[in-house]
Amino acid sequence: MTSPKQRIIETALRLFSTQGYNTTGINQIISEANVAKASFYQYFKSKEDLCVEFLNARHTYWFNALNSFTASETRVNSKVIASFDFLIFMNKKEDFRGCSFLNTLSEIPMDNQKILAVIQNHKSDLRSYFLELLNNQELSDHVYLLFESSIIESQMFRSNELIEVSKRLITNLIQ
């Protein structure tokens, strides 16, 4: 059986993903997670704190899944391309939900430093992921930007077409 805290986080993931951050209320999360209001506030002071926890959990999940997905690739070039295959895998698994971080970013005021810092950390880690693989700042930034735009475009059009285009472009860039 999952803990009340875990149920709250899992419920937030589902509701933030399907309804958005702004339209999901604390009372709905409490009700659907089947926890007492006191339990919610025992773990989280606010919806904002829940969002930070949700994004941190999503960050850990996402990078673990990415690293697991690409682990069998031994060549750098293959690992970079497999990262884009991971996007296709995630689109299928999560029905083109897109990036939890970018989705949340689109809903928060830019002065919300607490949530913004978590989003920026995730994107910085992704950028570093490609830099560590490619060991070339300009090239890795190019790959990172194609990766990010592939996420947005695939979500918007519910298609992996531009992920495949990005893979072909990157294959030519990193050979």
Per-residue model confidence as pLDDT tens digits over 52-93? 999 999 999 999 999 999 999 999 999 999 999 999 999 999
**CATH number of the structural domain 1-45:** 1.10.10.60
Distances (CA, A) of 82 to 43, 78, 79, 108: 37, 6, 5, 32
pLDDT band at 1 (very low <50, low <70, confident <90, very high): confident
The domains spanning 1-45 and 46-174 adopt the same CATH topology: no
pLDDT band at 175 (very low <50, low <70, confident <90, very high): confident
pLDDT on residue 159: 98
Mean pLDDT within 16-25: 94
Residue 138, pLDDT above cutoff 90: yes
User: Torsion angle of alpha carbons 74, 75, 77, 78, nearest 10°?
Assistant: -40
- Is CATH 2.60.40.420 correct for 46-174? no
Report yes or no: 91 and 154 within 8 Å, Cβ to Cβ: yes
Mean pLDDT within 28-48: 97
Question: Which residue is listed with tokens 């995630």?
Answer: 90
Mean pLDDT within 112-121: 98
Listed by start position, the domains of the chain span 1-45, 46-174
Identify which of 87, 22, 17 has the alpha carbon closest to the alpha carbon of residue 55: 17
Residue 122, pLDDT above cutoff 90: yes
Mean pLDDT within 150-172: 97
* Strand, helix or coil for residue 64: helix
